[in-house]
Amino acid sequence: MSCFPCFGSPSQGKEKVKKKIEGIVGADCKQEFSAAPSSHHVSSEGNAGNIAAQTFTFHELATATKNFRQNCLLGEGGFGRVYKGRPDCFCPFGFSIDIPADEEPLDWNTRMKIAAGAAEGLEYLHDMAKPPVIYRDFKSSNILLGKGYHPKLSDFGLAKLGPVGDKTHVSTRVMGTYGYCAPEYAMTGQLTVKSDVYSFGVVLLELITGRKAIDNTRPVGEQYLVAWVRCSLTFCTTSSPCWLL
C-alpha cells in the first residue's frame, strides 16, 4: 500500500511513524521533531489484518509544513487550506499569479502550455472517461506544475459523475469556489460539463491578465475578474487592449 503513506499496520509502531515524519520534514527539522513529545493514535477497527489510519499531532503537522509557511501552501478552498509536507511536491500554479516584484511574469508560450495541458485534462474527464466526470472545482490553485511547467489536475474531492444516456445534467447541491462557479449551475443546481468549461475560461483569463478571479485589494469595479474583463472588452479597441498585461 505504498500509494497511501498515511496508512499502515498497527504493528509498525511509533518508531516507523517518527522516521516517516523525519523523512518528510528533512534533516534541518529532525532535531526539533526529536524534542517534541511523540503522541500518535492509531485507529484500527476489526481484526489485525485491516488497514489502520495514523493521526498526527498538531506539532508534527506544524513541523512538516515548517510552521505552516506560506511557501508550503498548496491551495485553499471551501473546506480549508492544503499544505505540502514533502520536498518533492509540485508547486501550485495559483501562486504564479502573485509573482514577486523582482521576478519576470510567465512568458506567453508557458501560459498557453499550462492552459492547453489543463484543457487536455478536462477533455479526458469529459469525453474519454466512461461515465464522464465533472470536476466541479476547476480553479488555478488546483493546477499543479511539474518540471517544465507540465500541468496536472489535483483535488477531485468535489468531482461528480456526469449525465449518461438521455440525461442532460446532474442535479446536485451547489458546491465549488466563488469566482469560478458557472452562474447557471449556481442558480439552478443543474451540473453539466459546461460548468467546468466556464471555470476553465476564468482560469484562462487569469493566465492572460495576471489577475485573480476575485481580488478584494483592487478597486470596487475591478475586484471580479469576469465582470471587469467583460466591461473592458466593451470599451477597449484592438489598438488599445487595456485589459492585457
Residue with cell 512568458: 107
Measure the CA dihedral 140/142/146/151, to 10°.
-60
Question: Nearest Cα to 116, choosing from 22, 230, 203, 43?
Answer: 203
Spatial neighbors of 33 by CB under 8 A, at least 6 apart, are: 18, 21, 22, 25, 60, 63
- Phi, psi angles (nearest 5°) of residue 21: -65, -40
d(CA 203, CA 182): 12
Question: Nearest Cα to 156, choosing from 184, 181, 121?
Answer: 121
- Which residues are tagged catalytic? 137
Q: DSSP H helical segments within the chain, as ranges? A: 13-25, 30-34, 58-64, 108-123, 183-188, 193-209, 225-235
Question: Nearest Cα to 181, choosing from 154, 208, 203?
Answer: 203
C-alpha cell of residue 98 = 502573485
Burial 33-48 (b: 16+ CB within 10 A, else e): beeeeeeeebeeeeee
C-alpha cell of residue 240 = 488599445
